[in-house]
Structure 1
Amino acid sequence: MNGKSTTTRTKLERGRSALGPALELVHTGRAPTRAVLTSELGVTRATAGAVAAELEALGLITVDSSPGSAAGSQGRPSHRLSVHDSGPVALAAQVHSDGFRAALVGLGGRIVATAPKCVAVMADPAQVLGEVVDAGARLLSESGLRCVGAGLAVPSAVAEPEGTALNPLHLAWPAGAPVREIFSACVRAAGIAGPAFTGNDVNLAALAEHRHGAGRGAQHLLCVATGHRGVGGALVLDGRLHSGSSGLALEVGHLTVNPEGRPCHCGGRGCLDVETDPLAFLTAARREPGPEESLLKQSGDLLRAEYDDPQVRAAAEELIDRLGLGLAGLVNILNPDRIILGGLHRDLLEADPERLRAVVADRSLWGRSGSVPILACTLDHNSLVGAAELAWQPVLDDPLAALA
């Protein structure tokens, strides 16, 4: 083989190895132009142009035909890059105590379509997952879009590699339900192309927020959030979820923040899970809790509408102090560079941000730990978007192989 052919093949292989990193840069909004893509990849303009053209040929991104202003770069105008409006999608599904929902999510974390939410969660996981997958299959049929795979978010720790939901405490599902196996079977039965994945809802919310929301740019991102009941946590390190040796890391709900507090289902007492969730807030505010599937909305509405009420304010301050104590312990152990809060915790942060930050700073061991940014989650349906991220990951890793 002559030298020219060898050089051409080497350039082609180098360009193809850059397809995944290039797609991830566009997907996460970090490469809005070809000039920025060139800089981020550390390649020549010609290679970046070839990579962008191949991603466009795969139907994943669009490249403006005429250069525009050089956003994010110096020098001459550059071609703008964006995800393809009619490109492939991932099927995302989420199950929670208040119902289940299916959606189609494109690159960039863009929700393309959602099915109406179902509010009844049956005790048989196969029935629930079958219905949510059927709803997703109808969305795919109506859209005519290509599907790269499917992801499911569940309110439970998901053990790896088995994919079992160990503690779906606020669903009537049996502990250890093989949700990944059931979900994969439902996806295949519905004729949906691509692999199927399953994960914990707070883990997936953190992943989505890291790529598209309040966590973007963080290297060590800690997410803590409530659902209608309980507290979950997640850690994203350098863009990847830290799930531990078997998928069970960051069960932050079982940090003790009140040793004399309420008994917890884990066998302990005064855990974050039962001291800072919506039920704890409503109880402290001396309000009658409604149905479990409405606790999050009830507590958020109360906090926003009646914060000037002395009982409501005292309850909020009590929960903020306990939450701050828990966050300080996590800061001491994990040393994150950003904390994001979801569910009721987001509402508590917005009600009195200075109090929460002061508690974390006061209880942190290291001086600079008190200045860790604490932000509210910003994405709507972040667990759904995160479920889609699982399905998109093989495409981000190797677009050519995944779409072949």
Structure 2
Amino acid sequence: MPHSPTSPQPSAEARRPAPDRGRTLLGPALALVHTGQAPTRSALTSALDVTRATAGAVSAELEALGLITVDSSPAGGGRGRPSHRLAVDPSGPVVIAAQIHADGLSIALAGLGGRLEEPVHLPLPAATDPVRMLRAVALAGAELARASTRRCLGAALALPNPVTEPDGAALAALHFAWPSGTPVADLFAEQLRRADLGPRARTPLPSTVANDANLAALAEHRHGAGRGARHLLLVTSGHRGVGGALVIDGRLHTGSAGLAMEVGHLTVDPQGRPCPCGNRGCLNSETDPEALFAAAGRRPDPDRPLLDQARELARAAAADPQARAAVDHVTDRLGLGLAGLVNILNPDRIVLSGLHRDLLAAAPERLAAVVADRCLWGRSGRVPIVAAELAHAGLVGAAELAWEPCLHDPQAVAADRVG
């Protein structure tokens, strides 16, 4: 796997004269347009700390590479010379973004700017061993790439389990009983090599894998509710289990081997529900969709997506006393976990995604009160707790990972056309 992605920052080279200065600025400039921080050439000039002429040359080069558009009609409204609008090119290249859930697969093509095309959602294959699972993902992604008129530059996969760096091996893949250390990155790359990606894809297609919560945090930090946060904590519950991630100064904190922030295995009730990890009362087993149904004394419909049903149950709390009691119970457990994380990590913003987003909507004051009461700093140190904004944050985050080579060196990637 590549290093942990970072928020766009002008490099040191961007601030010193050099014969190839324009090329060294292409990556930082593209990243600024990609994240919406440079919607105009004037904003790009300021963010890169360069002259208008240099910003104009850089934006023109990115436009020539087919990555952004430069609108020659000026964007007015301010004093001085109006500036030209910059945007990612809607007909520019794409990457394959994929995500494996506990009960299904999601695949989409994604352009720059966090823009997903309509995702395809598929059931798990009948056999969920690593090879057949990854083959299903690769074939679905290849079908989308063949049908598109846009160049495909890479692929990335979000996994619901820890992923080691830099080798991309899956550890504790509890949902599917994969052997610990399964070389997912290598297997995914092999399945993509075998797939028919069509004539517009890079060959071989670069690919990588990462933990889904990490990728969701990266997506929210760049394109969603985490924008502007310096120390962002994301906690999420998807179809089963709980994940978490931390972004510090724009960089994912993944630890020495990519395994940091397994917040789902923080104990919040020693006498609580059993967790697949072998312990009891983990945040993982106390605040996910199954825990909410258990607290309500109800069983979900096995023929419908579990997360969708859990969200409906959380929304029913306003009128259903049984649902209200279940939401309060699970919210209290979530608050205990968040308070412990706040005491250790001291984030300046918490983003809740998946089912936790619905619990926040159903019991915002209760959740905030539990966190404040159990936090060392109490109410005086209350951390903003906000809802995630992105509909498919795991897929958007996977796209971010796939786009990293292009954001690092747009000219090199664009020069490597296809075939």
TM-score by length of 1: 0.92
Counterparts of 1:115-126 in structure 2, within 5 Å, are: 115-120=120-125, 122-126=127-131
**Separation in structure 2 between the aligned mates of residue 290 and residue 233 of structure 1, nearest angstrom:** 27
Whichever residue aligns with residue 55 of structure 1, its letter is L
SS of the aligned residue for 2:100 comes to strand
1:37 paired residue among 44, 59, 65: 44
**By how many angstroms is 1:36 displaced?**
0.6
Contact 1:122 1:172 survives alignment (8 Å): no
The answer (yes or no) to whether the contact 1:97–1:293 under 8 Å persists in 2 is no
Question: Size of the alignment, in residue pairs?
Answer: 394
Shifted more, 380-389 versus 173-182: the winner is 173-182
2:4 aligned residue: none
Show the counterpart of 2:142: 137
Local SS of the residue matching 1:198: strand
Structure 2's unaligned 5+ residue stretches are 1-15
Tell which deviates more after alignment, 215-224 or 367-376: 367-376
Q: Is the 8 A contact 2:220 2:227 kept in 1?
A: yes
User: 3-state SS of the aligned residue for 2:122?
Assistant: coil
- Secondary structure, counterpart of 1:81 in structure 2: strand
Checking the alignment, whether the CA contact within 8 Å between 1:121 and 1:171 is kept in structure 2 is no
Q: Deviations over 1:345-399 (max 9, x none)?
A: 1100000111111111121112577431111111111111111111101111111
* SS of 2:245 mapped into structure 1: strand
Matches within 5 A, 1:192-271: 192-193=201-202, 194-271=205-282
Contact 2:40-2:85 at 8 Å conserved across structures = yes
Is the Cα contact below 8 Å between 2:316 and 2:323 reproduced in 1? Answer: no
Q: Is 1:76 aligned with 2:81?
A: yes
- Counterpart in the other structure of 2:106: 101
Report how far residue 128 of structure 1 moved: 2.0
3-state SS of paired residue (2:188): helix
Deviations 1:268-304 (A, max 9, x none): 3211111111111111111123339732222111121
- The answer to whether the 8 Å contact 1:357/1:370 transfers is no
Q: Residues 96 and 293 (structure 1 numbering): CA distance in 2 closer, same or farther, change over 3 Å?
A: farther
Assess, with a 3 A threshold, how the Cα gap between structure 1 residues 22 and 136 changes in structure 2: closer, same or farther. Answer: same
- SS of residue matched to 1:66: strand
Pairwise CA distance, 1:327: 0.5
Task: Specify which of 3, 28, 49 is matched with residue 21 of structure 1.
Answer: 28
Which secondary structure state, in structure 2, belongs to the residue aligned with residue 356 of structure 1?
helix
The change in CA–CA distance for 1:67 and 1:338 in structure 2 (over 3 A counts) is same
Which residue pairs with 1:291 in the alignment? 302
| Residues in 2 aligned to 1:264 and 1:115: alpha-carbon distance in whole angstroms | 30
Q: Of 180, 189, 192, which residue of structure 1 is paired with 2:185?
A: 180
1:390 aligns with 2:395: no
Is 1:342 aligned with 2:342?
A: no
SS at match of 2:97: strand
Bigger CA drift: 372-381 or 110-119?
110-119
2:124 and 2:133 in contact (8 A); partners too: no
Does the CA-based 8 Å contact 2:373-2:379 persist in structure 1? no
- Equivalent residues of 2:106, 2:122 under 8 A apart: yes
CA 1:115/1:347 → structure 2, altered by over 3 Å: closer, same or farther?
closer
- Letter of the structure 2 residue corresponding to residue 135 of structure 1: A
Q: Higher mean Cα deviation, 272-281 or 299-308?
A: 299-308
Report if aligned partners of 2:317, 2:327 keep a CA contact under 8 Å in 1: no
Aligned-partner Cα distance in 1 for 2:162–2:395 = 16
Which residue of the partner structure matches residue 149 of structure 1? 154
Give the direction of change, closer, same or farther, for the CA distance of 1:22–1:121 in structure 2 (3 Å limit): farther
The one of 329, 332, 352 equivalent to 1:321 is 332
Distance 1:248 1:161 in 2: 11
The residue that corresponds to 2:13 in the other structure is: none
Evaluate the alpha carbon distance shift between residue 369 and residue 119 of structure 1 in structure 2; reply closer, same or farther with a 3 A threshold. Answer: farther
Cα displacement string for residues 238-259 of structure 1 (whole angstroms, at most 9, x for unaligned residues): 2221111111100001111112
| 8 Å Cα contact 1:331/1:369 also seen in 2 | no
Task: Looking at secondary structure, tell me which structure has more helix per residue.
Answer: 1
- Tell me, what secondary structure is at the counterpart of 1:128? helix
Residues 209-228 of structure 1: per-residue CA shift (max 9 Å, x gap): 11111111111111000122
- What per-residue deviation string (whole Å, max 9, x for no partner) do you get for residues 44-81 of structure 1? 111111111111111100000121225xx653311000
Q: Secondary structure at the match of 1:65?
A: strand
Partner SS, residue 316 of structure 1: helix
- Aligned counterpart for 1:333 among listed residues 338, 344, 363: 344
One-letter amino acid of the counterpart of residue 299, structure 1:
A
Instruction: Give the match's secondary structure for 2:179.
Output: coil
1-structure distance, mates of 2:126, 2:185: 17
Which of these residues, 336, 358, 376, is aligned with residue 369 of structure 2?
Answer: 358
Deviations 1:135-157 (A, max 9, x none): 21221121121112110011111
Amino acid at match of 1:254: H
| Conserved 8 A contact 2:99-2:107 | yes
Aligned residues of 1:155 and 1:200 also touching (Cα < 8 A): yes
CA distance in 2, matches of 1:287, 1:172: 27
* TM score, norm. by length of structure 2: 0.89
Structure 1: which amino acid aligns with 2:70?
Answer: V
Q: 1:346 to 1:402 in 2, by over 3 A?
A: same
The more displaced of 159-168 and 283-292 is 283-292
Q: CA RMSD in A?
A: 1.9
Q: Partner of 1:58 in structure 2?
A: 65
Contact 1:338–1:373 (CA<8 Å) still a contact in 2? yes
Q: Which runs of 5+ in 1 are unaligned?
A: 1-8
Q: Between 299-308 and 371-380, report the one with greater CA deviation.
A: 299-308
Contact 2:163–2:169 (8 Å) recurs in 1: yes
The C-alpha deviation readout for 1:100-124, integer Å capped at 9, x for no partner, is 1221100001013433534446322
